[in-house]
Amino acid sequence: MGIRAWYPARATVRQRLATPILRTKLYVPPPRPQAVLRPRLIARLNEGLHRKLTLIASPAGFGKTTLISEWGARSGRQVAWLSLDAGDGEPVRFLTCLVSALQTLTLNGVKGIPADTRHSVMSVLESPQPPPIEAILPALLNEVSAIPFDFILVLDDYHLVDNKQVDAALAFLLEHLPPQMHLVITTREDPDLPLARLRARGQLTELRAADLRFAPAEAAEFLTRVMGLTLSTEDIAALEGRTEGWIAGLQLAALSMQGHQDAHGFIRAFAGDHRYIVDYLVEEVLQRQPEPVRDFLLQTAILDRLNGPLCDAVTGQPGGKARLESLQRGNFFVVPLDDTRHWYRYHHLFADVLQMHLMAERPDQAPALHRRASAWYEQNGAAADAIRHALAGGDFERAAGLIELAAPGMRKTRQDATLLGWMKALPDETFRTRPLLSVEYVGVLLTSGELVGLEDRLSEAELWLDTSAGGRARTEASAAEMVVMDEEEFRRLPGSIAMYRAAHALILGKVPDTVKHARRVLDLTSEVDHLLRGGALAILGLASWRIGDLEAAHRLYAEGMSHLRRAGNLTDAVEGAVTLADIRLAQGRPREAIRIYEQALQLGMAQGAPAIALRGTADVYMGLSDLHREFNDLDAATQHLLKARALGEHAGFAQNQYRWPLAMAQIRWAQGDLDGALDLLNEAERLYSTAFSPDARPIPAMKARLWVTQGRLGDALGWAHERGLSVADDLSYLREFEHITLARVLLAGYRTEPADRALLEATGLLDRLLKAAEGGGRMGSVIEILILQALAHQARGDVPAGLAPLERALALAEPEGYVRIFLDEGPPMAALLENAAKRGATSGYVRQLLAALGKAEDRPLVKQALAEPLSERELDVLKLLRTEMSGPDIANTLMVSLNTLRTHTKNIFAKLGVNTRQAAVRRANELDLL
């Protein structure tokens, strides 16, 4: 449960970050009138159209954008073009731009993706609480699949997008790419996509720097026909050799030589690497420009994108549009970003050198230029760009004001990473006079897991509160004046500060402080302030859960979620269902947990497009998976996990990423694949991060239980020693699961090497645990403890004594449908249940459990004429080895790691006495194993 569920941002987004500017950089740049056609490359691109992806990867200056624009214009297909910049790494912003690009597709009056409708992907993206992009991808694929013509989507400068979620989303799109769509990526570095898999499947076309270099004939055509130079064959060869066919170098050299009296001498004068050549040639180009042109180039070098009005605002001179058109016509490293020539950008290398010249020649001008750009972007509704330029220009007061206005809406749309970067760029003194900004910073830090200095920031904000004056500001000894951008938010500031103090205390495990601050929130806020009151009640519920008072925890947390729903924060309500269901499960009420999850799914899937779920829906599916596993419906459990993964959980958008491998580990465990289960538990442990919800079932303790099942008692004892566990410990709810695990370890030790002391310690600990769990109403623990008491009596040969706790466990478990909690105990439980059946204990339920235990025991008994039979999981692997699937595909199908698959394969080869995949299949057929 993240902090957003307790202090969500306000519903009103006062300043949008997605602006019309984003929709103007989408169209394919037209080919230059005098562009050099490159038949050899055009042919390769055409040949790759039947594949999924074309990757154009090279350093700057190799003509990637120009090549694709020339080809796209002649490909015979519609082209959607998205020119990316560093600001497009935010997942929601990226997908908004991508969908906008697709909406430009039109053929014979038919639009590729219809205009925004209530249930369209774009309408969901532009909603106050857009879901994560991975949740939207299935709906986007549906819209793309409906496009009635072939088309190309170009992602230009993809290296500027540095976000794993965006990479994962793009990998998902590639995996399910509709046949009429072809994706093109231009980049300076290989993207984090499954390129090896695509390459092996023949689904990838690649052009690299070596492919893009001008051949001598192409260089000659470019220099003579495009750049208008008259050079000898020897000079052309020399220039091509010096630049090694590097297109940007050739273009800069050509610009430098235009009007030069001694072209031959010029060519002989320069040499070196690309960076040196660029510096040298740009210097030559700039020196030859009239002063107005030079001024324009240097002043606008600070801009990532250029249009006429923006350039006019930055330079303080009119005529920017005409100047840009003139530069573009003169092949002056100006790249159009749309087919109406409204937006442009400088070639990246050219821009870098222009900026260096600006800082070297006119360093005092740069801040003012950035401030003008910031003001223009603010006036045109582009808050993100306005903030970026204010920060770049060192105008921290302006940046702080813009961030303060944007923060509530950005937190609501989960753009915390961007906010954190901006806030970290501000000097500390900026926050001292801005209490609202300081408190927003605390919220972002809490969400990001950064806890250092939180209390200092809250105290600084609190200095500006004068409780005797009804929340108005007071002036401290300093002469500084408080800055507040929103008076309404300032009036709520005391409650916000108390809220974050409560959340901070909860993370630190300080329950009394948590309760004190949360109750102060309730005292400070009105009944209609559903956001703060909902957050405070949710925190009180989590505090109660931490100390094991589950009924109070559920009541308070449910009340908090009700407030958040009334506030319109439906995402928080869906995410909160996971907490409510976990509490009910701890109370031994899985059927009610199922109902909670089903209601959350109805809420989560009712918003926006039918195929789009709110954030948290994947966690709900994972919770349902675990419950169906307990009911021994392993197929349903697996299907729910697959739904979670389809929503993007494995790509990382779920609230608690560790839950997916944890749930799958328990399914593998139930299937008898203990090694696979351990691999998944290790992955879950790696992904786990401290959460606001109590860690009531620690993953290391689950690993210790698995080690006991594997017979690795030494490892389990090592875990208990490392955790400092003892049968004499004071008991607490947060360590209850660990102490029950310790009892399991002691019982396993007794079975291995009978010693009365170990058994007495185990039974004594179980007696104490039972009393504590019963007192706290934790019936899930009660059932497990009773089962272990029955097994302890059985272990010392007193089966009749074991039947009493077993029958009580059965009576508690039957109404709720528990199954795996009995089955996982294996043959010893089967023997006990048979004795219970003879005594008539809930006979129908016992027969059901015995039947399930019989099936579980029969599963590995496939007829195998082998000295060491194959396990069920190894048989699953063997069946897939006879297909044409690759190793990674098999691992993906079985939902195991590649290392686990290799281990299974190695074991299969050893048991069958073979060395190759083909030999394993032949041997399996001989033995009738398939």
Mean pLDDT of the chain: 82
Count CB atoms within 10 A of the CB of residue 362. 14
Structural element, H or E, at residue 57: strand 53-57
Q: What tokens were used for 505?
A: 């205390």
Q: How confident is the model at residue 31 (pLDDT cuts 50, 70, 90)?
A: very low
**pLDDT exceeds cutoff 60 at 609:** no
Residues 1, 576 contacting (CB under 8 angstroms): yes
Q: What is the pLDDT of residue 613?
A: 54
Alpha helices in 615-722, H assignment, sequence order: 617-630, 634-646, 659-670, 674-687, 699-710, 713-722
pLDDT tens track for 226-259: 777 778 788 778 777 766 677 777 777 777 776 6
**pLDDT exceeds cutoff 80 at 750:** yes
Q: What is the mean pLDDT of residues 730-744?
A: 95
The residue among 386 and 62 whose pLDDT is bigger is: 386
Of 17-31, 760-774, 848-862, the range with the lowest mean pLDDT is 17-31
Question: For residue 523, with 0-12 CB atoms within 10 Å meaning exposed, 13-18 middle and 19 or more buried, which class applies?
Answer: exposed
* Best-predicted range by mean pLDDT (53-62, 86-95, 321-330, 384-393): 384-393
Q: What is the mean pLDDT of residues 460-472?
A: 62
Q: How confident is the model at residue 918 (pLDDT cuts 50, 70, 90)?
A: confident
Of 30-34, 136-140, 567-571, the range with the lowest mean pLDDT is 30-34
Q: How confident is the model at residue 649 (pLDDT cuts 50, 70, 90)?
A: very low
Q: What is the pLDDT of residue 533?
A: 94
Q: What is the mean pLDDT of residues 188-212?
A: 88
> What is the residue whose two structure tokens read 């109590």?
694
Residues 6+ apart with CB under 8 A from 408: 9, 10, 12, 13, 14, 440, 489
**pLDDT exceeds cutoff 90 at 819:** yes
**pLDDT exceeds cutoff 90 at 627:** yes
Instruction: Calculate Rg over the CA atoms of the chain.
Output: 33
The residue among 104 and 930 whose pLDDT is bigger is: 104
pTM metric for this prediction: 0.68
> CA-CA distances (angstroms) from residue 814 to 54, 627, 785, 788, 895?
58, 15, 16, 17, 32
Q: What tokens were used for 271?
A: 């040499």
Count CB atoms within 10 A of the CB of residue 708. 21
Q: For residue 580, which of 602, 597, 605, 562 has the smallest C-alpha distance? A: 597
pLDDT tens track for 585-599: 999 999 999 999 998
Bridge partner residues of 399 (DSSP)? none
- Helix 416-425 with 383-392: angle, nearest 10 deg: 30
Q: Which long-range contacts (CB under 8 A, 24 or more apart) does 277-281 make?
A: 277/242, 277/243, 277/246, 277/249, 277/252, 277/253, 278/61, 278/248, 278/249, 278/252, 278/349, 278/350, 278/352, 278/353, 279/353, 279/356, 281/249, 281/252, 281/253, 281/255, 281/256
**pLDDT exceeds cutoff 90 at 196:** no
Q: What is the pLDDT of residue 136?
A: 81
Q: What is the pLDDT of residue 423?
A: 92
**pLDDT exceeds cutoff 60 at 50:** yes
Q: Distance between CA atoms of 637 and 626, rounded to whole angstroms?
A: 6
pLDDT tens track for 765-815: 999 999 999 999 999 999 999 999 999 999 988 999 999 999 999 999 999
**pLDDT exceeds cutoff 60 at 17:** no
**pLDDT exceeds cutoff 70 at 542:** yes
Structural element, H or E, at residue 144: helix 133-145
Of 102-111, 255-264, 825-834, 886-895, the range with the lowest mean pLDDT is 255-264
Q: What is the mean pLDDT of residues 534-555?
A: 95
Q: What tokens were used for 452?
A: 């250092």
**pLDDT exceeds cutoff 70 at 96:** yes
